[in-house]
Amino acid sequence: MTRNLKKTGRNDPCPCGSGLKYKNCCMNKVTQSQTESLADKYLRIHKIRLKEPKDIEGIRASGTLVMATFEEVKKILVPGTTTEEINTLVHGFTVKNGAVPAPLNYNGFPKSVCTSVNDVVCHGIPGDYVLKDGDILDVDITTILNGYYADCNQTFFIGTPSTDARHLVDVTRECLKRGKEMALPGNTTGDIGWTIQHYAEAQGCSVVRELVGHGVGFSFHEAPEVAHFGKRGHGVELVPGMVFTIEPMINLGARHVRTLDDHWTVVTKDGSLSAQFEQTFVITEDGCESLTPFEL
Ligand code: MF3
Ligand code: CO
Ligand code: CO
């Protein structure tokens, strides 16, 4: 088929359909796509707030404090420690450094950190649980420093892990690593999700669907959602200035979850082990950078 590439003449009917001559109508108008910034477009279409360099600096500083908090937490991750003691440490260290623990009072959450043991998928509430040899424990720390949020979690072994636990935690860390590798401009959120799901399921594990990664920085949970499953090419196209988490929750058994009567604690339905790793990433011109880095 031959396309009609003839330019609209000054005296031709305007292609906008107004019935006026082109010269008296749209000829000198600049279209929205020619003037609208990427930031305005992403806000309008996706409700995503892109971050400027000064914002990224702020989130990075918050992330640096999160990682310093993890260094303190690691020192007490031994059998006999209670999850309440982890909460006390995270709360005190965060406040001492001029920041605010984001979980505290967030939608009514009662503590300053999430501690999720064994079959707890996420949002475990610190309390009198005493860690024991062989447990796996996810610690999820989110800090607000100078108004900027950074969100990160890691699963740790308490004492010596079972072979199963080691397998699950290795697979989950690798899921985050592979998800991160897909986080580059031109790819989509669906590419991240597909990659994680494909790997986890090939390793005999399952991906939790009910909880997803999220935009972060100006507040705790922003657009977009970053699912850890899905289809390649689906979702939102990644562009420089996007800041979001990837935080796969991977189960050794079935993917299904339920929430306990405390309205927070999410556990696996079948009682199987669940692990998670999370970092906050910023999309750059040629890839991504972790603002809460740890080795993957
Ligand atoms: N840090 C969690 C996340 O990764 C959210 C915890 S919400 C809370 O999105 F209220 F439980 F703290
Ligand atoms: Co998160
Ligand atoms: Co988190």
- Tell me the per-residue pLDDT of 62-71, one tens digit each, with 9 for 90 and over: 999 999 999 9
Cβ of residue 120 lying under 6 Å from some atom of ligand 1:
no
pLDDT at 101 over 80: yes
User: How far is the centre of ligand 1, averaged over its atoms, from the C-alpha of 198 (Å)?
Assistant: 25
* pLDDT value, residue 1: 54
Average pLDDT, the chain: 96
Q: What angle do CA 59, 60, 63 make, to 5 degrees?
A: 85
Band (26; pLDDT cuts 50, 70, 90)? confident
pLDDT band of 5, cuts 50, 70, 90 = low
State pTM to two decimals. Answer: 0.91
DSSP output for 123-191? -PPPSSPBP-TT-EEEEEEEEEETTEEEEEEEEEESSSPPHHHHHHHHHHHHHHHHHHHT-STT-BHHH
Confidence of residue 28 (pLDDT cuts 50, 70, 90): confident
Judged by its nearest atom, the ligand closest to the C-alpha of residue 211 is 1
Q: Is the CB of 138 under 6 A from ligand 1?
A: no
CA 167 to centroid of ligand 3, rounded, Å = 22
Other C-beta atoms closer than 10 Å to the C-beta of 265 total 18
Spatial contact of 101 and 73, defined as CB atoms under 8 Å apart? no
118 lines ligand 1 (CB under 6 A): no
Which amino acid makes up residue 248?
A: P
CA of 263 to the centre of ligand 1 (A): 13
| Cα–Cα distance for residue pair 74/81, rounded to 1 Å | 11
91 CA → ligand 1 middle, Å: 15
What confidence tens digit (pLDDT) does each residue in 238-271 have?
999 999 999 999 999 999 999 999 999 999 999 9
Does the Cβ of 150 fall within 6 Å of ligand 1? no
